[in-house]
């Protein structure tokens, strides 16, 4: 089988990173991938990773609302002789379903976001119409979390044609003592100091402002350093706030260009204090590195972090501060939760399992005789709450 994945761009901070992981595991699951991007990203990291993994990346330059978009995607997919189209995102869903119909091949779509709070009745109707169109034109829809399943069921009224398959990731591995020591030297922290790391993208809703509020409540003599990795539109504001506050500047460090996985391997605790999220990839990778988490109880995060692998808190700076201090003061708790996080990653999120589950979806959609039936792949309806 050859599967054509259609994405908006090969932005390494988007779905392309996950598809590069998938490309490494999919041959063992019986298929290969072609990744077609509607627009160039201007970056080469994801493209290079896809090529190294044996996938075929294709970057188009298709302007929004270009009426030729479907034809250009058809030409790219036909050139690589794909058997099935798998779309990721709003515009790829529209263009990909049209291209699949033209090629007469099945189309599968992954839900990467949910829209649980439409602005008004007209917005609600538009989103309902899109969901119903998805049911008509897509052979199967994939939700990455039970949260998405429940939202889909509320809008569509049924989970027929919907499978829940959480995105996986390549095993990031655990950090070594040498890596941790080198990281600590770079931060100039003491031997007994706890290092907590956040690698969530610095954009609206990801909660770094709330995290800084929480850090400001922690006693000054607590041996704790917090590292904010990554980048985003809010980074200049966050850096400015830390620089203007003596308590924060003595405890918070920024590592903009560092590899987030390397930061997680060297950390004692992972912080993910977002206000909303579906199934954050960085939190999954943190579990893979064996790093216990302190995270907010929102979106699909409770499907990653359990009481065994970390602490879930309310969206409240004081509660975040309490859990962070409690975790920092208890090395046995961190060790126990870190081991459980690593085990949970290997059981539920390691990429080979993800590749196998997607392979079953593809084989069913293509009508393989030994594949599961569509009904067998349907996720159970959510329980009705009184």
Burial 304-338 (b: 16+ CB within 10 A, else e): bbeeebbbbbeeebebbbbbbbebbeeeeebeebb
The kind and range of the H/E element at 163 are: strand 162-164
Helix (H, G, I), strand (E, B) or coil at 214: helix
> Tokens representing 133?
């169109």
Query: How much is the average pLDDT of 346-373?
Result: 96
Interatomic CA distance for residues 145 and 123, integer angstroms: 23
pTM score, whole prediction: 0.90
How many beta carbons lie within 10 A of that of residue 145, not counting itself? Answer: 23
Give residue-wise pLDDT tens across range 187-206: 888 888 999 999 999 988 89
From the list 72, 60, 13, 70, the residue with the least C-alpha distance to 35 is: 60
Phi, psi of 46 (to 5 degrees): -65, -40
- Cα–Cα distance for residue pair 100/73, rounded to 1 Å: 9
For residue range 309-358, list pLDDT tens digits in order: 999 999 999 999 999 999 999 999 999 999 999 999 999 999 999 999 99
Mention every residue, 6+ apart, whose C-beta is less than 8 A from residue 367.
none
Segment 210-244, tens digit of pLDDT: 999 999 999 999 999 999 998 889 999 999 999 99
The pLDDT, as a whole number, for residue 242 is 95
Q: Which helix (H) or strand (E) holds 145?
A: none
Please name the residues in contact with 121: beta carbons below 8 A apart, sequence gap of 6 or more: none
């Amino acid at each position: 089988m050859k599967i054509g994945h259609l994405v908006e761009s090969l932005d390494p901070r988007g779905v392309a990173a996950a598809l590069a992981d998938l490309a490494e595991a999919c041959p063992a699951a019986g298929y290969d991938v072609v990744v077609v991007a509607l627009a160039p990203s201007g970056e080469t990291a994801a493209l290079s990773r896809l090529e190294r993994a044996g996938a075929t990346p294709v970057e188009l330059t298709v302007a929004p609302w270009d009426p030729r978009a479907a034809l250009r995607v058809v030409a790219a997919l036909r050139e690589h002789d794909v058997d099935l189209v798998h779309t990721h995102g709003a515009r790829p869903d529209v263009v990909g379903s049209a291209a699949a119909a033209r090629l007469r091949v099945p189309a599968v779509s992954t839900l990467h976001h949910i829209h649980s709070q439409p602005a008004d009745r007209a917005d609600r109707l538009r989103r309902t119409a899109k969901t119903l169109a998805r049911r008509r034109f897509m052979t199967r829809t994939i939700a990455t979390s039970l949260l998405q399943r429940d939202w889909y069921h509320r809008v569509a009224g049924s989970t027929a044609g919907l499978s829940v398959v959480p995105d996986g990731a390549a095993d990031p591995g655990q950090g070594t003592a040498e890596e941790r020591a080198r990281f600590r030297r770079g931060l100039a922290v003491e031997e007994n100091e706890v290092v907590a790391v956040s690698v969530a993208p610095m954009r609206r809703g990801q909660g770094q402002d709330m995290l800084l509020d929480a850090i400001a409540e922690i006693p000054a003599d607590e041996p704790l350093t917090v590292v904010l990795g990554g980048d985003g539109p809010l980074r200049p504001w966050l850096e400015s706030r830390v620089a203007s506050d003596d308590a924060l500047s003595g405890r918070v460090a920024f590592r903009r260009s560092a590899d987030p996985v390397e930061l997680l391997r060297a950390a004692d605790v992972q912080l993910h204090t977002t206000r909303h999220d579906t199934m954050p990839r960085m939190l999954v990778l943190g579990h893979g590195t064996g790093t216990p988490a302190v995270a907010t109880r929102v979106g699909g995060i409770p499907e990653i972090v359990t009481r065994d692998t970390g602490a879930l808190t309310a969206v409240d700076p004081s509660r975040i501060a309490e859990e962070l201090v409690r975790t920092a003061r208890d090395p046995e708790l961190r060790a126990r939760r870190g081991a459980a996080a690593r085990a949970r990653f290997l059981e539920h999120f390691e990429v080979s399992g993800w590749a196998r589950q997607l392979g079953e979806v593809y084989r069913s959609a293509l009508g393989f005789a030994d594949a599961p039936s569509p009904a067998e792949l349907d996720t159970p309806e959510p329980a009705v709450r009184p």
